[in-house]
């Protein structure tokens, strides 16, 4: 039964791809679609388990404790970036252009060296700066320690995922995602029902889940360490990763500043209600976007810019109405499961945001896959996103409460996408001409 269903879904995806691309699908592309189906099912399973954990915590502990846990993870999800994010994406970009596996492991080795140095230098720095972090983010000393631990856990777990992505080892990638989700759910249930934990210390169960899942990537990490060291790869990973890190810092801050400011201005309970709406809409749909973008990014690095640009335009056209309707319907259902107050206008605004972000993310990863000039354009677009987001949020939060966060995100996303659409053609043309000259 499952095999027959899998074949029907594969046929549907192949038919959709043929219409989007405008020409018959090759055998290689057909194999890619079949692999994507396995990857998609695995990632959806991981997201379902992760969402179940979030809803379970939110319903069991209430919006205030849920808000405290959320703010710890949001801050850690931003502060971990210097540990592995830029270097990991640089690894994916460099590894997918190599055909020899030996060379890919040499890039793993260089990436591991940079990540290890970054971890050793960065985590003690965070601890020294903990009084400042407490003041800026409005958290306690215990919460600050949890944030630092979460930075280490998320940083290395993310690097493990990116190593799998660079090798296009989707089985390993999906396994790592699902193991974290399974461990997290099991540890949360154990902490609540056995240890009777009823406060924000529950976040340690989620942190432990990251560490317990990481050994899945151990084989590839060890193989990288055993590979011959190439000194010339260090500056390649570091220079490209530095720019990508800057983009990630600005981009993730833009999607974290809303909950940080809501926490400072309105309180933890409002963060909990806002997070329920955010996770039910953008949190859910970003998973579907990531299913496409994470899998397709290595392909972006290999194929013709003009052809990919045409495909993105077609996919985005289909995406706007489909993403909006799906986000609104699923979002309403998930917020209802939380048993939190439902805001129609919040759902509407965040659903529109998801449609715009679907288009924006495809454009962003396409730019990152091209070259340094395109990567800088993507960085500028994220700066625009952040600036507009902060200005709108600070202007509206006093009168509109948590709805201001959703409106600010949408405003920043629209301005950022407009900038990319205005500038990308000239930048990509410049890079094509540079490649022809070289």
pLDDT band at 151 (very low <50, low <70, confident <90, very high): very high
Chain-wide mean pLDDT for the chain?
81
Residue with token string 């994010």: 85
pLDDT of residue 316: 67
CB 274 within 8 A of CB 74: no
Model confidence, pTM: 0.77
pLDDT of residue 19: 53
CB 290 within 8 A of CB 173: no
CB 354 within 8 A of CB 281: yes
Please state the rounded mean pLDDT for residues 300-328: 69
Res 197 pLDDT > 90: no
pLDDT of residue 27: 46
pLDDT of residue 436: 47
Percent of the chain with pLDDT over 70: 79
CA–CA dist 315, 177 (Å, integer): 26
Res 268 pLDDT > 90: no
pLDDT in tens, 21-30: 455 545 455 5
Over the Cα atoms of the chain, what is R_g?
21
pLDDT in tens, 5-63: 445 544 555 455 555 445 554 545 555 656 667 777 888 888 889 989 999 998 888 88
pLDDT greater at residue 299 or residue 221: 221
CA–CA dist 176, 170 (Å, integer): 10
Res 182 pLDDT > 90: yes
CA–CA dist 224, 106 (Å, integer): 6
Res 88 pLDDT > 70: yes
Burial status of residue 407 (CB atoms within 10 A of its CB: 0-12, 13-18, 19 or more): buried
pLDDT of residue 437: 44
CB 80 within 8 A of CB 150: yes
Sign, CA dihedral 191-72-327-346, equals positive
Question: Which of left, alpha, beta for 258 (phi over 0: left; psi -120 to 50: alpha)?
Answer: alpha
pLDDT of residue 388: 93
3-class state of residue 197 by DSSP: coil
pLDDT band at 435 (very low <50, low <70, confident <90, very high): very low
Please state the rounded mean pLDDT for residues 228-250: 82
CA–CA dist 387, 383 (Å, integer): 6
Percent of the chain with pLDDT over 90: 34
pLDDT of residue 365: 65
CA 182 and chain centroid, separation: 19
H or E element: which one contains 314?
helix 305-338
pLDDT of residue 120: 95
Give the orientation angle of helix 268-278 with respect to helix 403-437, to 10 degrees: 50
Enter the DSSP assignment of 281.
I
Please state the rounded mean pLDDT for residues 66-80: 90
Taking the CA atoms of residue 88, residue 91, residue 93 and residue 96 in that order, the dihedral angle to the nearest 10 degrees is -130
DSSP per position, 368-396: HHH-HHHHHHHHHHHHHHHHHHHHHHHHH
pLDDT of residue 393: 93
| Domain boundaries along the sequence of the chain | 61-251, 255-438
């Amino acid at each position: 039964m499952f095999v027959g269903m899998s074949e029907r879904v594969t046929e549907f995806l192949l038919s959709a791809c043929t219409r989007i691309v405008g020409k018959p699908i090759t055998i290689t592309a057909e194999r890619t679609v079949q692999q994507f189906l396995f990857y998609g099912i695995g990632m959806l399973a991981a997201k379902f388990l992760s969402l179940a954990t979030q809803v379970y915590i939110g319903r069991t502990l209430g919006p205030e404790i849920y808000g405290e846990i959320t703010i710890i993870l949001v801050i850690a999800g931003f502060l971990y970036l210097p540990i592995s994010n830029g270097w990991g994406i640089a690894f994916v970009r460099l590894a997918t252009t190599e055909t020899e596996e030996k060379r890919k492991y040499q890039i793993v080795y260089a990436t591991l060296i940079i990540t290890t140095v970054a971890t050793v230098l960065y985590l003690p720095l965070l601890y020294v700066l903990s009084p400042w972090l407490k003041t800026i983010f409005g958290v306690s000393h215990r919460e600050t320690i949890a944030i630092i631990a979460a930075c280490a856990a998320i940083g290395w777990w993310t690097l493990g995922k990116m190593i799998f992505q660079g090798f296009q080892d989707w089985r390993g990638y999906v396994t790592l995602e699902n193991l974290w989700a399974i461990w997290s759910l099991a540890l949360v249930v154990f902490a609540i029902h056995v240890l009777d934990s009823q406060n924000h210390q529950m976040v340690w169960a989620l942190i432990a889940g990251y560490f317990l899942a990481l050994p899945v990537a151990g084989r590839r990490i060890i193989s990288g360490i055993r590979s011959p060291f190439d000194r010339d790869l260090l500056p390649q990973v570091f220079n490209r990763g530095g720019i990508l890190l800057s983009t990630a810092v600005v981009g993730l801050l833009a999607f974290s500043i809303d909950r940080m400011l809501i926490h400072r201005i309105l309180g933890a309970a409002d963060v909990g209600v806002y997070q329920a709406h955010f996770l039910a809409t953008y949190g859910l749909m970003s998973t579907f976007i990531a299913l496409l973008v994470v899998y397709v990014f290595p392909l972006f690095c290999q194929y013709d810019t003009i052809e990919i640009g045409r495909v993105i335009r077609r996919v985005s056209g289909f995406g706007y109405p489909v993403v909006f309707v799906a986000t609104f319907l699923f979002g309403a259902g998930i917020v209802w499961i939380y048993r939190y107050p439902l805001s129609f206008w919040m759902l509407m605004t965040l659903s529109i945001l998801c449609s715009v972000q679907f288009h924006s993310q495809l454009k962003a990863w396409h730019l990152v896959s091209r070259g340094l000039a395109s990567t800088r354009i993507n960085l500028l677009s994220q700066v625009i996103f952040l600036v507009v987001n902060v200005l709108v949020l600070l202007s509206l939060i006093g009168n509109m409460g948590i709805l201001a966060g959703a409106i600010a995100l949408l405003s920043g996303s629209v301005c950022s996408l407009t900038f990319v659409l205005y500038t990308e053609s000239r930048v990509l043309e410049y890079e094509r001409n540079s490649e022809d000259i070289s």
